[in-house]
Structure 1
Amino acid sequence: MDTIAFILKILGSLGVFLYGMKVMSEGIQRTAGDGMRKVMATMTHNRFAGIATGLITTGLIQSSSATTVMVVSFVNAGLLTLIESIGVIMGANLGTTLTAWIIAMIGKFSLSEIAIPIIGLGLPLFFIGKNRWKSFGEVLIGFGLLFYGLHLLKESVPDVKSMLSSTDAAVQEQARQIQTFVASLSGKGYVSILTFLMLGVILTLVVQSSSAAMAITVTLAIQGWIGFHESAAIVLGENIGTTVTAWLASIGTSVNAKRAARAHFLFNVIGVCWMLIAFYPFSQVVTWLGAQLPESFRGKSHESDIGFNLAIFHSLFNFTNILILVGFVNQLASLVTRWVKEPKIAPPKEHRLHFISQGMVDLGELNIPEAENATRELAGITKNMFQGYLEVFKNPAVDLSEEVKRLKALEDAADVLTHDITEYLVRTSAAEISPENARSVTRMLRIVSELEEISDAIYRLIQITQRKYTKGRAFGDEATASILAFAEKIMELIDLYSEVLIKGASEAQLRKAEEIEKTTDKLRKQYNKRAVKRMSETEDAVKTEMITIDMNNQFELIANYGLNVVQSAYYLVKHDEIPERAEGKSPASPE
């Protein structure tokens, strides 16, 4: 029963710690998510900037797994290159060492005395504050819970020395059993090191968080359950285990995203390999550095010496690994490129959106670039379809049945991608994102809806053109010229909304879109009147000119939907309000 109670206390302490980390990380995303996205996407132009970006990002959200999964997502979205991603991953490895330093403070401060006041500061902000202040309160609450979880973990794990000096014979026996078990695994040179390394890998896989695994390791070391060499070996294993999260997140993503995940794995494994060779000399250096810490930092009883030594070991290992491999980023990229090869026969491109999730920490704020990229792709499909329609219209004497099949496949792909983006954005908004990003998601949902309407209208144009050829209807020179002139204005609008997605349109671009839409409205009325006039000239012209009117009406529909896209893109960054949606004219209207 005591064993069950002990295990439940450990699990409960880890639960508070992990929940605190989750709350803090998501609060930081809501507070600075846009800034983090911009930094990640723009401040990684060289490997050193990438390292700094990874270091700062991981230091803030306290989760290297979340950072590396974010990197995989950005590579998949095309916002980061493989070379840039490797630099960020290096920095993330160094940033995660901050966790070990925080945990090492267990023996220096009374964490409960720190944690409760921090939660007290965050609580009123969380309940009373708005927007960023509310999110900042969430950060403080999460930070306090993280500290309190560490305090509970320390209290849950008994000190072996205290157990040995206990007057209770049963407690002494338990302490001796612990020492005997650890001793049976220790003292066998590299066999023992590899054993504890594997334990570190398994521990990280089980708890799905290198920070939680580090918390357990440092706490056990401070409480005397394991020695420095054993705990250092476990830390090395945790460095390998943490790469699995990004590896799993890369399943179903692009080739480059898979390569980024493999680069993370390779970087850490190479580091562990050279560290195993230099393990004992490196450990001596770490012990010497630990002894140089000032007495005021280490505490009177020195009970946290091993904790600080582990923090030094973790930091120095990752820093040295960066120094060794930072000059070989191109070679690492080349190696993973050979490892994950492009398929010899490229499969048909599937227009699907892959939702990437870290699992422990919700990446709602940082998932948005993936949806933005997919929205641009959807806009590209509509442009491709309209160009294909013009190709079919301009070549009535050429058999373009294969082109029509291709355009139908594009229309189907647009429907699938619209569904994927909509579902993706709904899942993103479910993560309690900031009000600003919530509004952005709403506008993106509108943009996606308008783009789907455009793809449907373009395919109706293709069907109308097919019907024209099937029925043997031939346009006269005037009708053909009017269709091409109308199509030119539509192409101008499609080019415009393709350009402004998704960064937002300028005032001039919005006015240009409104001008084009007004022009298309006039053209529809003008060309439809001409078509009605031509109907009266011959009896055979009626059915032909009805096709002309149908095309003109579809053009006007596309113009209305296109204006809605530009308006939404403009208000995405300029204002809070979106003007009333411009509805399309009825396709049956000959006006």
Structure 2
Amino acid sequence: MTFFIILGSLGIFLFGMKTLSEGIQKTAGEKMRQVMATMTHNRVAGVGTGFLTTCLLQSSSATTVIVVSFVNAGLLTLVESIGVIMGANLGTTLTAWIIAIVGKFSLAKIALPIIGIGTPFIFIGKGKWKSMGEILIGFGLLFYGLGALKDAVPDVRSMLASTEPEIVQKAESWRAFIENISGKGYLSILMFLALGVLLTIAVQSSSAAMAITVTLALNGWIGFQESCAIVLGENIGTTVTAYLASLGANTNAKRAARAHFTFNILGVIWMLAAFYAFIPMVESIGNSLPDSFRTEKHSTPIGFNLAIFHSTFNFINICLLIGFVPWIARFVKKWVKDDESESDSRLHFITQNLMKVGEMNFPEVQSAVEGMADITLEMYDDFENMFSDRTIDLTPAVEKSKDLENTTDQCMADITQYLVRLSSSELSRRNADDVSSMIRIVSELEEASDCVHRLVMLTDRRNRKGHSPFSDETTLELKKFTRLVGEFITFTRNNITPPISLNILKKAEEFESITDEMRRNLNKSSLSRMQKDGDLKREMLQIDINNQLEKIGNHCLNVIQSATGTVD
């Protein structure tokens, strides 16, 4: 029965941590994205960002998953991501301090009032207020789960003092077992380290694993050295989450996950070498704590010693390795080779791995949309270059254009699928509108790329058929038209992700109005030449080109309208 009570307590703790993390991400997700994307310009800033983010989310796993997603989206470089991951490792030590501190109090007295305050916000609140309720309930459940876990695990010392022989025998058997496997030197340390790895993988949370470890230590089930070895194993086990998040992501995201593992494993290696010298130092620090941290027997609680061990280990590890971040980056680049099957930097292909909180998925999808626009712009630049030369063989250019057009088709399918899945998660009203806008945007970009490919095919037909050239005046007007459409595409690419100001929309409408007028004038000139016995096939071809250019302008305007939210 005790086992199921412990399991239920752990479940409440994990659910509380999940609710707390998701509530914070919903409340401050956009700000967190901005901070993580802008406040990582150097290693120290990256460490600080990772530390603060993990302290807020109470989950280094959540932070590393966000980091992997941002690297996949191209918002963080590999070197920047390593700094954030280092900070996340330090931020997760807060959990041990919380457990050690609140272990001195009756957590039910703290937890239930917090849950009571947060509950009304869940049922009557909307938006930020509802998320605030989730934060409060998450805190309450987290504390309640910790309290239940602490109460569910029996104290070995109390069991040994029991008057019931069966209870005393169980306690003595457990103590003898621990003493037996603890007396094998480094082999014992490695065994408990492996236990920490397995425990963290099993519960998928280093914070939950830490809660179990501290609780067992507080109640005398394991000693301080064994607890420290388990904590080291938990540092390795937590890297599994980032690894799973990187599956299906691009090469750099995989490298970020491997960098997380490399950093943690290097820390564990040097700590194992210094383990028996480091433990007395931690105990010495613990013994120097103020009396308010001590028990009635004037011995420092093991929970505080574990928190000190976890914090000092991660802090020293950062100090030792922060100067070697470029080396770690080079190492993981050799470990994870460039994938030749991946597209180049024009597009960071979107993964289909959604993070639990919808708001945190937007950087990746926005980056993918921008990458799709880059492909369309590249296709048009190629068209402009070939349009001015009537003599070259365009077969290679046509093949390239077709390949890029197929790529945009695939991008639209992947991004749309991702957005549809994203729309089924809980989103703020603004982000829900942004999802609808981006679905329309990728559709318009795909249509624009189709038009550009048709222009390439028409130009190829012109060169192969050898139509007579236009007059200098007409040629000049055509160059103006193609240049204007190119400027419109570039303008659209630079203003593609919502929200966009109405001034941008006004400028786009001016672009589109001019393209309409130029198309009408050029078509009118072609019809006039046809009536005067001009080259009929040449003029019909030119009208087709004019119409495709004008359609591209329409699609660009639709993109801007979607980004500003003005499309019905």
TM band (smaller chain): over 0.9
1:455 is the counterpart of 2:449: yes
Q: 1:353 aligns with which of 338, 350, 355?
A: 350
Q: Is the 8 A contact 1:365 1:428 kept in 2?
A: no
Letter in 2 for 1:424: Y
| Matching residue of 1:54 | 50
Give 1:514 shift.
1.3
Match of 2:566 among 573, 579, 584: 579
Give the drift of 1:181. Answer: 2.5
Read off the aligned partner of 1:391 and give its amino acid letter.
Answer: N
Map of 2:231 onto structure 1: 235
Decide whether aligned partners of structure 1 residues 347 and 143 sit closer, same or farther in structure 2, where only a CA change above 3 A counts. closer
- Alignment pair present for 1:33 and 2:29: yes
- The match for 1:317 is 313
Report the CA distance between 1:280 and its aligned residue: 2.1
1:431 alignment partner, SS class: coil
Q: Contact 1:125–1:133 (CA<8 Å) still a contact in 2?
A: yes
1:69-109 CA distances to partner (integer Å, 9 max, x unpaired)? 21122222221122222211111111000111112235301
Q: TM-score, normalised by structure 2?
A: 0.93
Structure 1's 446 and 301: CA in aligned 2 closer, same or farther, altered over 3 A? farther
Q: Could you tell me which runs of 5 or more consecutive residues in structure 1 were left unpaired when the two chains were aligned.
A: 572-577, 582-591
Asked if residue 527 in structure 1 is aligned to residue 522 in structure 2, the reply is: yes
Matched, 1:102 2:102: no
CA distance in 2, matches of 1:580, 1:67: 36
Specify the alignment match of 2:480 in structure 1: 485
Partner of 2:427, secondary structure, is coil
* Structure 1, 269-278 or 167-176: larger mean CA deviation: 167-176
The equivalent residue for 1:370 is: 364
Structure 2 residue corresponding to 1:544, chosen from 538, 542, 549? 538
Question: Aligned residue for 1:397?
Answer: 391
Alignment match, 1:183: 179
| Consecutive unaligned residues in structure 2, runs of 5 or more | none
Q: 1:525 to 1:303 in 2, by over 3 A?
A: farther
Distance 1:403 1:351 in 2: 23
Equivalent residue runs for 1:276-355 within 5 Å: 276-300=272-296, 305-342=301-338, 349=344, 352-355=349-352
- Alpha-carbon distance in structure 1 between the residues aligned to 2:430 and 2:179: 56
| Residue 428 of structure 1: aligned partner | 422
Shift of 1:479: 5.3
Matched residue type, 2:39: M
> Does residue 518 of the first structure (1) align with residue 519 of the second (2)?
no
Q: Deviations over 1:43-84 (max 9, x none)?
A: 111111111101100000011111112112222222112222
List aligned pairs for 1:78-227, cutoff 5 A.
78-227=74-223
RMSD: 2.3
- Could you tell me how far 1:220 is from its partner in structure 2? 1.0
Q: Deviations over 1:272-305 (max 9, x none)?
A: 1121122122211211222233333345367981
Mapped partners of 1:108, 1:354: distance in 2: 45
Normalized against structure 1, the TM-score is what? 0.90
Distance 1:112 1:474, change over 3 A: farther
* Match in the other structure for 1:44: 40
**Amino acid paired to 1:373:** S
> 1:62, 1:528 → 2: CA distance?
64
The 8 Å contact of residues 203 and 213 in structure 1, kept in 2 or not, is answered as yes
- Tell me the residue number matched to 2:243: 247
Aligned: 1:412 with 2:406: yes
Q: CA deviation at 1:466?
A: 4.1
Q: Aligned partners of 2:199 and 2:281: how far apart in 1?
A: 27
Whole-angstrom distance in 2 between the partners of 1:466 and 1:126: 62
Percent of aligned pairs sharing the same letter: 56
For 1:388, the equivalent position in structure 2 comes to: 382
Which amino acid is the alignment partner of residue 58 of structure 1? Answer: T
Would you identify which runs of 4 or more consecutive aligned residues in structure 1 move more than 6 Å? 301-304
User: Which AA in structure 2 matches 1:87?
Assistant: G
Partner SS, residue 166 of structure 1: coil
* Cα distance, 1:33 vs structure 2: 0.7
Q: Matched residue pairs, number?
A: 565
The letter of the residue matching 1:407 is S
Task: Note the C-alpha offset of 1:134.
Answer: 1.5
Structure-1 separation of matches of 2:202 and 2:302: 24
2:493 is the alignment partner of 1:498? yes
Q: 1:122: Cα distance to partner?
A: 1.1
Paired residue secondary structure (2:478): helix
Change (3 A) 1:351 1:77: closer
Match of 1:426, SS state, is helix
Find the residue that maps to 1:500 and give its secondary structure.
Answer: coil
Residue range with higher mean Cα deviation, 22-31 or 481-490 = 481-490
Mapped contact 1:222–1:303 kept (Cα < 8 A): no
**Deviation at residue 516 of structure 1 after TM alignment:** 1.0
The answer on whether the counterparts of 1:28 and 1:60 sit within 8 Å (CA) in structure 2 is yes
Q: Decide whether aligned partners of structure 1 residues 273 and 357 sit closer, same or farther in structure 2, where only a CA change above 3 A counts.
A: farther
